[in-house]
Structure formats: structure tokens, C-alpha cells
Amino acid sequence: MKIYLPIVVLIGLSFTARSQQYALFNTKTLFDSFENPAQKSFVLDSSRQFASNFFIPYLDLNSLSKGNSNTAIGNLVRQGYTQSRVGNFSNPKLMREDFNVYLIAVRLFKYQKYHSEMGFSWQVKSETQIDYDGDISKGLFYDTFSRVATIPRINVFNNNGKFQAYHQISFNYRENYTKRWALGAKVSLLSGIGYAEFNASKSTATVTEANLDVDMAAKFRLNYPEGGQINVKNALPYRNLGAAITLGTTYTTKSGIFLMANVKDLGFIRWGKKSYSGSFNVTKNIPLTDRLNEEDRLQKALDDMAQENTEQKAFITPINSRADFLISKTFGPYTPNLIITKYIFNKYGEAAFVNTIKSGTFSFSAIPSYNTDNVFRLGLQGMIQTPNFEMFLGTNDIKQTYYASKDIVKNNQANETGYNRASVYIGMAFKIGYVVEHPMNMSWMPGVGKDKDRKSFFGSIFGIFKKKKR
């Protein structure tokens, strides 16, 4: 198996700032009920029993164009490049990405008592974090997963960071514990697709048409598809297994204030024994004299340097776990939502203020947000929603999406960095089957009659801790 320099594969399916689809929180959509497991998605006397996206994926279309990395690489070799760093970055910058697509989502109304709902979903997710120096991280940007159109290039000499992509197959259950308090849980099987982590404590590089001079000390861990190509065989969800759990709760006060809290995706992946780990401290002069084109010559030189200090062994990594809190109150057609998110295994956090105006079946949302990377964004979303149908279209960053779309229309490629940044998400879902009627109006309803004495699932769990009456 060919081993590429680990920094080369620090890639993701987008290169936008990390964000969630906050405008979909507290909407009682199918997406909302899977992301926030205590949320309802069925309305009594209106909704039908089964909800699904019917294999129409919820798409998060980040980074609409990958640009031209070959031009960036060619310019580097022809024009020359030099930089030097020891220790921390002098002007540290950070780029993050979270990519989340629901391939399949199916949910059903199970029992009228306790308003029980359960669902199954299959997601594909990726997480990227790149640390770089704002003063010197220009020049060579490089990629390996060339078959995927939305992968960014990264500077192989000036970046530290990590990337992981995985499947998440989940079962979700929620119920009302009391009339005002609801509980929900989501348990997930994880299956890793690819992982790369690279951290350099020293990095000095000079590139000319004839030579690559490198003085670098670094550690890395790596697990990715052979040849850097994602296909059906190596992306099937049965390798590099892991598990995760999400717990959520909602509470509505007598004055109509809605509160929601979640601990999401608390879990880990074990990357198998075919993974690579290593460290190196090398000083080399590598001639670039092979009869290859510019980008292939440089990649071959980097590959040769990476192969020397590598061993195969398994390792375990956490996924991006986080805690969310939401508070909201509806005022006629206007519903504000204040959302605070804090990641558990890193310092990242974000606050968003969702402003939604609803008229009939249509709603429009404006979402200003600010995060701990000192980045402010403005997102927009439009949605059509009835008890049995929903469709939405939105962006987490209207400004960046506008400029990236403009460049794509004009065919302006990002020759220096090799990527254009944008963020658009879209999805729809339907409900079919019997109408889930209120007991006072019912002609038929699941969970009524023979199941009228059914006990609450969460009540049974909490009952373990109660003292038995003598």
C-alpha cells in the first residue's frame, strides 16, 4: 500500500467554518427530531404515522468548487518557495469543518400514551480542524482524495491538524415523561471511513525546480482508503467500528417558555490494525529530477520521506461531542431561539440567535452567529412545512456563499489555495400512513386499547432508583 505524507491527507468534504443548521432547531421537522432526540415530529389529529426522507438525502453542500490545485502546485515549483518555523505559529489561525448528511431517515409514531416516537437513520459525517500560520501559509496546497469534488488543498509545510470521516447508523427514541417534560436518546454504531492527524514541532522547507530541502519534526496517525480513493468497497459501514450516544430533554414552562438541552454524539472510533502511526525528525535534500510532471514529482518526493518511520497499529479517537442549550418563546408569528453550543473535547463554542417569522405553511429565518474563533456569520433559511410535508433550503454564511457562487458562475478558480468556500443545505421529508388522532377524536390510533397500561420507558429506568414501598 502506498503511504502518502500524512499532512497531504488532512482533508475534509468542505472548508467552511464549523456550524450546525440552527434554523432547523425547534421546528419539529424530521431533521430536528434526529438531531435533538427529545423533540416531537408528529402532530396529533394532523400527522400521519410514518415519516421519512425517502432516500432523498439531507445535503450540506459546503465548498461548491475545489478550484485548481495543479495550478497552485505548478506555480510553487516554477517560482520557488521557502519558509521556516520552529515551535508555535507566530500568527496562529484555525479552520474547522463539520459535514453531516442524512442518507436515510425513517421515523414512526409508536404509542399515543407518552407520545412515543422512534426512528432509524444513516448519516455520513466528517470533521476537519486545520491549524496554520496566517503569515506564511501560502503557496503549495495539496490533496489526495482527488475523486471527491469538494475536497480542499492544504499547505503541506505550514499546517497542523486532523480529519476524520465516518458512518453513523442510529436508533432514536423519545417520549413525554410528564405533560411538560420530554426525554429522548439516540444510540449509534460508528464505522470509520478515513482519519489523518499531523502535528509538526519544526518545519523548514525550500522548493526549487531541481530540489526539495526539508528539515521537519512531526508526529502523525493515519487511516484512509488505499490509493486515496473513496469507492463503494472501502466506504461500506463495517470497518473501524465505534459507538456513540446522544441524550436530550425538553421542558415547556406554564408561561410558554421552551427549554431544550442535549449532550450529542458522545463516542469514539477504534481505527483498525491497518492504520499507520509514526514520527520523524528528518533533514533531507531531495532532487526533483524524475521524468514526471511538476505535481507528481513533488508528491513522489514527499511520499519517499514519509515511508521511513511508519508502523501499523490500531488507535482510538473521539468524535466531535458537544452540549447544546436552547431557550425560546413564540410571540404570534415570530419565534426567537437563543442557542449555545460547546464542544466537549476541544475549546470550540458558538452562540446563535435564530429569528423565525412564520406565515401559514412558509417560514423565513435569519441566523446571526458568533463563535470562539471570533468569526461572525449571518445565515438564512426558507422552509415550507405542513403536518405531513417539509422542505427547506438555507445557508450558514450568506456572504461567503455569495462570493463563492459568483466565482463559480464566472469560472474564477482559486488557483492559490485550490478551493472556493460556500455553504448551502437542503432537504425534504414526507409522512404517510394512518393519521395519529387525539384520543378524544380517534377512530384508530397506535398505542391505544391493549397498550393503554403500557409503562413509560424512561419512567421504568428512573423507577430502578426509587425505593420500593413496604
Query: Is 16 within 8 Å of 63 (Cβ atoms)?
Result: yes
CA–CA separation, 376 and 321 (whole Å): 22
CA–CA separation, 275 and 267 (whole Å): 19
CA–CA separation, 381 and 393 (whole Å): 6
| pLDDT tens digit sequence for 397-455 | 888 777 766 665 665 544 434 344 567 888 999 999 988 877 666 665 555 555 556 66
456 HSE (CA, 13 A, CB side): 18
Q: What is the DSSP letter of 301?
A: H
* Structural domains of the chain sorted by starting position, each given as residue range(s) with its CATH number in brackets: 6-463 (2.40.160)
Rounded to two decimals, the pTM is 0.78
Angle at the Cα of 292 from the Cα atoms of 287 and 296, rounded to 5 degrees? 85
* Beta pairing partners, 264: 322
| pLDDT tens digit sequence for 172-227 | 999 999 999 999 999 999 999 888 887 777 766 676 767 767 777 778 888 875 55
φ and ψ at 151, to 5 degrees?
-95, 130
Query: Is 27 within 8 Å of 365 (Cβ atoms)?
Result: no
CA–CA separation, 367 and 341 (whole Å): 14
Query: Is 250 within 8 Å of 39 (Cβ atoms)?
Result: yes
Mean pLDDT of the chain: 76
Q: Where are the beta strands (DSSP E) in 305-397?
A: 310-312, 315-318, 322-328, 334-343, 349-359, 362-371, 376-386, 389-395
